[in-house]
């Protein structure tokens, strides 16, 4: 056989094989691949106005499609579908349940509507579900809770994140939800859920965040919820929950946010709840709670955000122990029946920015201790029985933006200078005893009050003058007789007195040079005494005829206002170290501070100038609130989602370990006192050691 014949046969065979390999309808990449076809079916029911899914077609490899992630080792198997905020509209196709190895499903912030497919329960590998911010309706599929059929029982072993927040889901929360033993986060807030909260939810011992607020839930709070020992956030606000607050909630030692407002809760505030010493925010407002405020409220030493008990039926005296809440930024006890005086200890709440005690039955005067709260921006004491004068310290407090003292029993003159210049009638209306010379306050003129008592005061003046004249005449006669009788003795005594008594020269200013000469250069021989503020020297003036006492202040005791003039820089929120606002020179410790802020921003994805840090909160305080046991609460959510989506055992744990090291460095670098910050060499060493500990090459 010739070479030409051999070549012809080879080409013929190659073309035949190549022709037979061509698919009839789909390219090789999608033919007979269940995951690829399921994604195309999923796309068919969607409207994509922005063209995000334009690449989803048979001409390209589906593992490269937008939002699709395939398994790194198992060929052509989808493990993550993330279509976040793409403007997609339509129903969630049941074909999605054919992605049998799917671990992450993120469809949040789109316009998906209709029911959630019940077949989603077939995804037994699913660990992360986020469908928040859509228009989903219907009930929660029973399969999602690990109930029947038994074939989806494995789902309960892996699902750790379920987010259906802000949809239109109705119906009851199934009892089977208690079988999701690995669940860490459950977000069902802002839906139309009804019925009672199942007691089985107390079996979720790994649960850290439970958001069921803004639904139509009824019935009592189950005592079994006290078994969720890892719970850090409990949000049941804006429902129709009734009954008392179970005392078992006091077992939740890790609880930091307790939000039960706008329900129908009744009874007393359980004393056991004060055992939740890590609470940062407590909101029990708009309920029917009764009884007094426990004195054990002082245990909330970490309460850094707010205490809101407004719009209840609480009564009795405000406990002085409320002054122990030195870190709280907002206190609202309005619309209750609290009585007696406002405790002066409330002035110890030095971090307060908002204080509302209006619509109670409080008596007595407005405590002067409130002037110690230097950041107080809102003060509302309206509709009480407070008496006395309007505190004068308010005049010089430029931090107060809103003041309401209306409808009390205050008396006296309201100043028309300082902070009072920017206040209106609404701040003081309803106090019949107040007057002012300012027309903007809308109060009666104080001079009118003087005219009413003019005749009475004139009678007093006449009587006082008459008595004074009689006494003066009597004294004059006695002195005249004594002077005549003891003339010589008086003259002698007077002379000696004049010699011994200090002479008054009026106001006179001395130069530093004159004082140095008069004190012998501040000689120790002329030192009269020393104190905590300075030293006192004897000075000889006018060639020894006059002796003065000269006080020399220590240099750190500056005139009033020196520090306040730079007060606007103290504790600056941003990259600038707080000490730079105090006149301290630029140093390497300032660079360490800026590096620390950058480190916190990099891990949390929160700029120090973010609006969330506008109420006294800064990135350091925010990170500290979660450090170290709940560090993932402040870590960039995209990092958490990415780690959760990876098919690597312990990826989320390694992320938490890494972020803990880095945020620890950021916390050390942002110490307020520059002396407590580590040198940059130590920072580099800490990061290097952390890098090695994580198993990376340093």
- Which residue ranges make up the annotated binding site for ATP? 551
Cα(697)–Cα(685) distance, rounded to whole angstroms? 14
Q: Is the peptide bond before 40 cis (omega within 30 degrees of 0)?
A: no
Strand partners for 112: 90
Cα(92)–Cα(280) distance, rounded to whole angstroms? 39
Strand partners for 552: 535
Distances, alpha carbon 413 to alpha carbons 389, 394, 420, in Å: 7, 13, 12
Burial 430-455 (b: 16+ CB within 10 A, else e): ebeebbbebeebebeeeeeeeeeeee
Cα(262)–Cα(241) distance, rounded to whole angstroms? 9
Q: What residues contact residue 197 under an 8 Å CB cut-off, 6+ apart? A: 173, 212, 217, 219, 221, 222, 225, 236, 241
Q: Which of 321, 403, 319, 388 lies closest to 355 in space, CA to CA?
A: 403
Q: How many CB atoms lie within 10 A of CB 683?
A: 19
Handedness of CA 524, 526, 531, 533 (dihedral sign): negative
* Three-class DSSP category at 441: coil
Contact between 219 and 194 under an 8 Å Cβ cutoff? The reply is: no
Cα(43)–Cα(65) distance, rounded to whole angstroms? 12
* Three-class DSSP category at 625: helix
Burial 371-407 (b: 16+ CB within 10 A, else e): ebbeebbbbbbbbbebeeebbeebbebeebeebbbbb
Classify burial at 521, counting beta carbons within 10 Å of its beta carbon; exposed 0-12, middle 13-18, buried 19 or more.
exposed
* Three-class DSSP category at 588: helix
Q: Which of 29, 120, 74 lies closest to 40 in space, CA to CA?
A: 29
- Six token digits for residue 527: 């030192």
**What does the CA dihedral 435, 438, 439, 442 come to, rounded to 10 degrees?**
-40
Q: Which of 446, 339, 419 lies closest to 427 in space, CA to CA?
A: 419
Contact between 186 and 162 under an 8 Å Cβ cutoff? The reply is: yes
């Amino acid at each position: 056989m010739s070479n030409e014949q051999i070549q012809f046969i080879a080409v013929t065979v190659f073309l035949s094989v190549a022709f037979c390999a061509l698919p009839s309808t789909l390219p090789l990449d999608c033919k007979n691949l269940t995951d690829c076809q399921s994604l195309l079916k999923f796309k068919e029911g969607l409207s994509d106005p922005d063209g995000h899914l334009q690449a989803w077609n048979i001409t390209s490899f589906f593992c490269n499609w937008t939002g699709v992630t395939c398994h790194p080792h198992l060929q052509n198997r989808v493990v993550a579908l993330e279509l976040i905020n793409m403007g997609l509209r339509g129903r969630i196709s049941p074909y999605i349940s054919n992605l049998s190895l799917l671990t992450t499903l993120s469809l949040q912030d789109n316009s998906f509507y209709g029911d959630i497919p019940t077949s989603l329960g077939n995804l037994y590998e699913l660990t992360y579900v986020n469908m928040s911010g859509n228009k989903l309706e219907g009930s929660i599929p029973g399969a999602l809770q690990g109930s029947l059929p038994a074939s989806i029982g494995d789902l309960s072993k892996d699902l750790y994140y379920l987010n259906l927040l802000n949809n239109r889901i109705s119906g009851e929360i199934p009892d089977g939800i208690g079988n999701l033993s690995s669940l860490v986060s459950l977000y069902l807030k802002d839906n139309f859920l009804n019925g009672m909260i199942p007691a089985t939810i107390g079996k979720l011992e790994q649960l850290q965040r439970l958001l069921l607020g803004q639904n139509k839930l009824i019935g009592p709070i189950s005592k079994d919820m006290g078994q969720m020992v890892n719970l850090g956030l409990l949000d049941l606000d804006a429902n129709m929950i009734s009954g008392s607050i179970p005392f078992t909630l006091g077992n939740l030692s890790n609880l930091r946010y307790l939000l039960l407002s706008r329900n129908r809760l009744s009874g007393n505030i359980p004393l056991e709840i004060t055992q939740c010493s890590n609470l940062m925010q407590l909101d029990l407002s708009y309920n029917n709670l009764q009884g007094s405020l426990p004195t054990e409220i002082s245990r909330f030493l970490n309460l850094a955000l707010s205490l809101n008990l407004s719009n209840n039926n609480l009564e009795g005296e405000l406990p002085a122990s409320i002054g122990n809440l030195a870190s709280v930024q907002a206190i609202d006890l309005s619309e209750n029946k609290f009585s007696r005086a406002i405790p002066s200890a409330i002035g110890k709440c030095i971090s307060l920015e908002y204080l509302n005690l209006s619509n109670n039955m409080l008596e007595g005067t407005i405590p002067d201790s409130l002037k110690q709260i230097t950041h107080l921006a809102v003060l509302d004491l309206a509709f009480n029985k407070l008496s006395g004068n309007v505190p004068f310290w308010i005049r010089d407090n430029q931090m107060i933006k809103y003041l309401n003292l209306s409808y009390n029993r205050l008396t006296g003159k309201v100043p028309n200078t300082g902070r009072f210049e920017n206040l209106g009638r609404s701040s003081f209306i309803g106090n019949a005893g107040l007057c002012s010379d300012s027309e903007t306050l809308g109060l009666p003129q104080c001079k009118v009050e003087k005219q009413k008592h003019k005749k009475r005061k004139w009678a007093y003046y006449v009587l006082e003058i008459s008595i004074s004249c009689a006494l003066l005449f009597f004294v004059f006669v006695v002195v005249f007789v004594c002077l005549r009788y003891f003339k010589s003795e008086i003259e002698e005594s007077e002379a000696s007195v004049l010699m011994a008594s200090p002479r008054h020269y009026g106001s006179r200013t001395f130069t530093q040079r004159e004082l140095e000469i008069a004190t012998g250069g501040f000689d120790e021989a002329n030192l009269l005494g020393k104190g905590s503020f300075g030293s006192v020297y004897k000075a000889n003036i006018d060639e020894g005829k006059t002796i003065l006492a000269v006080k020399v202040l220590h240099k750190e005791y500056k005139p009033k206002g020196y520090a306040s003039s730079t007060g606007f820089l103290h504790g600056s929120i941003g990259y600038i170290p707080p000490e730079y606002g105090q006149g301290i020179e630029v140093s390497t410790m300032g660079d360490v501070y800026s590096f620390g802020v950058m480190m916190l921003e990099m891990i949390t994805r929160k700029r120090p100038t973010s609006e969330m840090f506008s109420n006294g909160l800064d990135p350091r305080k925010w990170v500290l609130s979660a450090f170290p046991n709940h560090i993932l609460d402040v870590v960039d959510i995209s990092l958490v989602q990415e780690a959760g989506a990876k098919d690597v055992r312990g990826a989320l744990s390694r992320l938490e370990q890494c972020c803990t090291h880095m945020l620890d460095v950021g916390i050390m670098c942002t110490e307020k006192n520059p002396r407590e910050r580590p040198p940059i060499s130590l920072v580099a060493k800490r990061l290097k050691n952390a890098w090695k500990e994580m198993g990376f090459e340093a």
